[in-house]
Amino acid sequence: MMPALFIGHGSPMMAIEDNDCGRFLSSYGAKLGRPKAIVIFTAHWETDVLTISSTEGPYDTIYDFGGFPRELFEKTYPAPGSAALAEDIGRRLSEQGIPVQYDHKRGLDHGSWVVLSRLFPEADIPVVQVSVQPFHPAEYQYRVGEALRGIGEEDVLLIGSGATVHNFQQMRWGGGEPEQWAIDFDDWLVDHMTKRDLEALFHYDTQAPNGRLAVPRPEHFVPLYIAYGSGDPQRKPEIIHRSYEMGSLSYLCIKFE
């Protein structure tokens, strides 16, 4: 039995630096055990139609960033794919009225491989990468997760990879203590998820404190609702890690069983 996870993936430097979240993921992956396969929704792959990677792999490693040390560009994560699992994911989504398409060439972007390289550094577990559609409302994102509810019973780990607070204009590049407005937004999210106040959560942009400041554009935010929707509604979410960098970049990580 595997849970669903939301992972705040932060900076790609987490793949080679020992920041708080990176250390946590390394220890958590060892504790979690070995899933049969992984399905990961990444904030760094946006498509009009929900798109599922269908390949046997190994995946190429995509360096969808610039201005980082050479060491980061030498890091690879050649995990295998799983066309059979991709087809199963597509079937589950299609049965709930969610259109899908398949991609047979795309590699793993840093929203996927940075997180996975810390959780499962051997890169030997089959991975199916799925895109996000940030132009759809929060209720739709939750429904995507609902369509995959129960997949953890088949020992498939579902991950939503993004960030709850992700606003480059508000980051303090010199570091320092976390901004209170970012903490308040995360507190509100956790509280309303715990209470399963879906009506408020679906309108986080107007109801949460600093909602539009924390989420100026929702591509990093929607993987949270996908992971949340896939969890058991009778079980409370569990914060498994919480830290911040550059004042407001949130590494909040949540488990949904």
* pLDDT tens digits for range 188-233: 999 999 999 999 999 999 999 999 999 999 999 999 999 999 999 9
Going by pLDDT thresholds of 50, 70 and 90, the confidence category of residue 13 is very high
Q: Which residues contact 169 (CB under 8 A, 6 or more apart)?
A: 216
Q: What is the pLDDT of residue 18?
A: 86
Condensed to tens digits (0 to 9), the pLDDT of residues 100-119 reads: 999 999 999 999 999 999 99
Q: Tell me the pLDDT of the chain averaged across its residues.
A: 96
Condensed to tens digits (0 to 9), the pLDDT of residues 213-225 reads: 999 999 999 999 9
Q: What is the pLDDT of residue 219?
A: 97
Q: What is the pLDDT of residue 124?
A: 98
Q: Which residues contact 104 (CB under 8 A, 6 or more apart)?
A: 53, 54, 55
Q: Is 99 exposed, middle or buried (0-12, 13-18, 19+ CB in 10 A)?
A: exposed
What is the arithmetic mean of pLDDT over 62-81? 95
Q: What is the pLDDT of residue 174?
A: 74
Q: Is the C-alpha dihedral spanning 84, 101, 81, 95 positive or negative?
A: negative
- Say how many domains are in the chain: 1
Q: What is the pLDDT of residue 145?
A: 98
The answer to whether 110 and 53 are in contact (CB under 8 A) is no
Q: What is the pLDDT of residue 168?
A: 79
Q: 58: cis peptide before it, omega within 30°?
A: yes
Query: Rounded to whole angstroms, how far apart are CA atoms 103 and 85?
Result: 13
Query: Rounded to whole angstroms, how far apart are CA atoms 60 and 224?
Result: 25
User: Is the per-residue pLDDT at 176 higher than 90?
Assistant: no
Q: Give the helix ranges, DSSP H, for 83-220.
A: 83-95, 110-119, 138-147, 180-194, 198-201, 204-207, 211-214
Candidates 61, 143, 50; CA nearest to 103 is 50
Q: What is the pLDDT of residue 57?
A: 82
- Total length of the chain: 257
CATH number, domain with residue 124: 3.40.830.10
Q: What is the pLDDT of residue 216?
A: 96
Q: Is 67 exposed, middle or buried (0-12, 13-18, 19+ CB in 10 A)?
A: exposed
The answer to whether 128 and 40 are in contact (CB under 8 A) is yes
Identify any residues that bridge with 108 across adjacent strands, giving them in sequence order.
61
Going by pLDDT thresholds of 50, 70 and 90, the confidence category of residue 173 is confident
Query: Quick count: other Cβ atoms within 10 Å of Cβ 23?
Result: 15
The answer to whether 9 and 111 are in contact (CB under 8 A) is yes
Residue 171 lies in domain: 4-256
Going by pLDDT thresholds of 50, 70 and 90, the confidence category of residue 138 is very high
Q: What is the full DSSP assignment across 150-165?
A: TGGGGTEEEEEEE-SS
Pairing of strands 249-250, 244-245: antiparallel
Going by pLDDT thresholds of 50, 70 and 90, the confidence category of residue 158 is very high
